[in-house]
Amino acid sequence: MGSPPPKLNVLELFCGIGGMHWALTESGVEFEVKAAVDINTVTNSIYRTNFPKLNLLQREIKSLTTEEFVKLQADVILMSPPCQPFTRVGLKKDIEDDRTNAFIATLRLIETCHRQAHVISYILVENVKGFEESSTRDVLIETLNKCDYVYQEFLLTPLQFSIPNSRLRYYCIAKHKSEGNNFIFAHQPEVMLGIPSAAQPTLLSKHSYIDIENLTSNLTGQEMTAALDSDERIAPLAQYLLPNSTDYILSSEAMEYYQGLDIRKPSSRNSCCFTKRYGRFHVGSGSCLSTGSHLEDGREEVRFFTPDEISNLMCFPQLKFPENISRRQRYSALGNSLNVYVVANLIRLMVSK
């Protein structure tokens, strides 16, 4: 990994169910989360179940003051702000969407700390594909430049790490110039579509890194699906599935959408991105799985992936849900989260010297 940093004090914003915290754990970097902040009561209850002793603040992120910020003595800010202003199924109001306010307020806070000589050494931002073309992204980059950071933007999918899920996401890693004027690879002004070869030795070995051509193509297209299913470098879905999931079989009413469903088999080596709408909207919210049986009309019997299976595909090592969290809430919380393994590798890449 190169030379690891000393123990890092981390502030986790828009913490959701704790994807960034799990990624820190998986990264092998020594850290302490000084505080995690989110306003969502459901995801906070999931976070608290998994990290009961952590300083979890249920409050508006934009209410954080400079004094509070400095008192936490954070070296690292990890954040996954709301994606709805940029998602393809949303209104794409971008910076005009009120849900960007907390993120913009955080950037202003970083700028204030910079003026007061309180240095945040590292910043990592995750969001949906499309963020890289937004005005909100422009404010992020303007802030990083103004506050003396070097940074690199990426579009990455778990498929590149041999994980059979096409959750293509935007990432930006930033390092203050007091920590060095570059990463362990040469900075590129454009968004990178892969991990540069010079940085690949830093990657974790649990999953092999692979190059995938036409990464940003329509991953649900038949040609791309066939190409991915024939790529034996990607693990089959069977490795992520659990037994006894008969209560997740689609109802006869749901099967009316059969022609529009993205149906995979345990041998498949890809699945569509699971969104917070999964389990309620049958088309465009994530893949379904063939049970291997057929209905009387000859169609395949299909079921939803369970929340635990989606958790496996997102590389949560042992995510626990409170018993009072419904199936719908579990799907929604996972749909708003991130792939732990991808972020763990970006954390390693960000802090390596």
Instruction: Region of 342 please: left (phi>0), alpha (psi -120 to 50) or beta.
Output: alpha
CB atoms within 10 A of CB 283: 12
Q: How far is the C-alpha of 200 from the C-alpha of 196, rounded, in Å? A: 6
- Is residue 83 part of the annotated active site? The answer reads yes
For the chain, the 3-state helix, strand and coil shares in percent, each to the nearest 5, are: 35, 15, 45
> Per the structure block, which two tokens stand in for 42?
């459901």
Whether residue 61 contacts residue 14, with contact meaning beta carbons closer than 8 Å, is answered with yes
Centroid of chain to Cα 203: 17
Sheet holding 122-128, edge to edge: 56-58, 31-38, 8-13, 76-79, 122-128, 169-176, 149-156
**Which is catalytic among the residues 83, 147, 272, 288?**
83
- Do the bridges between strand 31-38 and strand 56-58 make them parallel or antiparallel, or are there none, so unpaired? parallel
What is 171-193 written as a DSSP string? EEEEEEGGG-SS-SS---SSPBS
Q: How far is the C-alpha of 111 from the C-alpha of 143, rounded, in Å? A: 7
Closest of 335, 339, 305, 343 to residue 42, by C-alpha: 335
- Do the bridges between strand 122-128 and strand 169-176 make them parallel or antiparallel, or are there none, so unpaired? antiparallel
Query: What are the start-end ranges of the E strands in the chain?
Result: 8-13, 31-38, 56-58, 76-79, 122-128, 149-156, 169-176, 263-264, 288-294, 300-304
**Catalytic residue numbers, as ranges:** 83
